[in-house]
Amino acid sequence: MQKQDLHSKLDRRTFLTRSLAASAGIAAVAASRQASAEPRPAVKPLSQVPGQLPAGKIGDLEISRLILGTNHITFFMHSRDLRYVDDLSRHYNTEQKIIETFAAAEASGVSAFMTHQDAKIAKLFRQYRDRGGKMKWIVAPWSDAEGRVADPPSYRRTLPQLVDSGVDALYVPGMITGPLVKQGKGAVIGELLGIIKATGLPVGVACHELLVVQFCEKEKLPLDFYVKTLHHLKYPSAPKPEAMKTEHAENPGYWCNNPEETAEFMKSVAKPWIAFKVMAAGAITPRDGFNHAFANGGDFILAGMFDFQVAEDAQITRDAFAANKNRPRPWRG
């Protein structure tokens, strides 16, 4: 009797487990069908996406108006107080997946990858090129085996290695330029640019702070392009004006505290402008962020993308570029 009772309980348990699983499966299918029935933006499969994007030049280097960014790949994602996001990126973007992302970007017409100096990513990008990849490589010297690269002696040390590794353009990162200008040491930026200029490669300056661009323009520093943040402040989690006590902050998340002033000043700047953080690190949709960046003077958009986002973002770039051909600031590059 006990064995029969046990057998009956097991049968009932098996039946309930299978029934619940089946119910969950039916519910999932129903939810999927309901979701698919809702209007969604059409996204062409990668194989059907035109492999061409609008392009421009930084110096004499021609690149697509959409550039593959680095934070998804080097695992410095801005996630405000959602600390798990960086770990999630690390688990998804394996070395093989990163190489696949490079390939997906190139297949969608993205012709440049922009990153700070990083030994692991450099190794993976060279592997991608060894397999036939053609994307251009734009790098900010930052750190190497001997330490931080942030002054003229370290630039002279590391630049020959970067040139030998196949970089196509170089820029001074905002982690250096902002503090130098604020400390009254902006002349050092000119020294760093001169060292890069001697390589014969296009040279740029990156920053979060508009005052860096203003300084470079006033001093007529020898550079070919700017890399400057630009996003509006109309997203739900955007800080109130009184909360923006610095040029940028992780929490509340913002990276351009004066978009209108930035757009207005950049109208007078003749050098190409690569706009970055245009989605405020994920708070703004690509369609909204890309359109705002192009409409307000950005010549190129630097965007971090997972492999499954590239094709759609490339199409959004085409649409936004076409919609803003007659914008107030002339297209540069």
| Interatomic CA distance for residues 53 and 325, integer angstroms | 14
Give buried/exposed letters for 225-241 (b at 16+ CB in 10 A, else e).
bbbbbbbbbebeebeee
CA separation for the pair 156, 162 (Å, rounded):
11
**pLDDT digits over 93-143, tens only?**
899 999 999 999 999 999 999 999 988 999 999 999 999 999 999 999 998
Conformation bin of residue 239: beta by default, left when phi > 0, alpha when psi is -120 to 50: beta
More reliable by pLDDT, 246 or 134: 134
In the predicted structure, residue 23 carries a pLDDT above the cut 80:
no
Q: What is the mean pLDDT of the chain?
A: 85
Mean of pLDDT values over 240-268: 86
Please report the pLDDT score of residue 317 as a whole number.
98
Cis peptide, bond prior to residue 252, ω within 30 of zero: yes
Quote the longest CA-to-CA distance of the chain.
95
Tokens, residue 205: 């300056």
For 66-102, how does the pLDDT look when each residue is reduced to its tens digit (9 = 90+)? 999 987 776 666 676 677 777 888 888 899 999 999 9
> What is the crossing angle of helices 95-107 and 310-323, to 10°?
30
- Nearest Cα to 152, choosing from 182, 213, 196? 196
d(CA 6, CA 169): 73
Tokens 């309930």 sit on residue: 16
Contact 209, 178 (CB under 8 A): yes
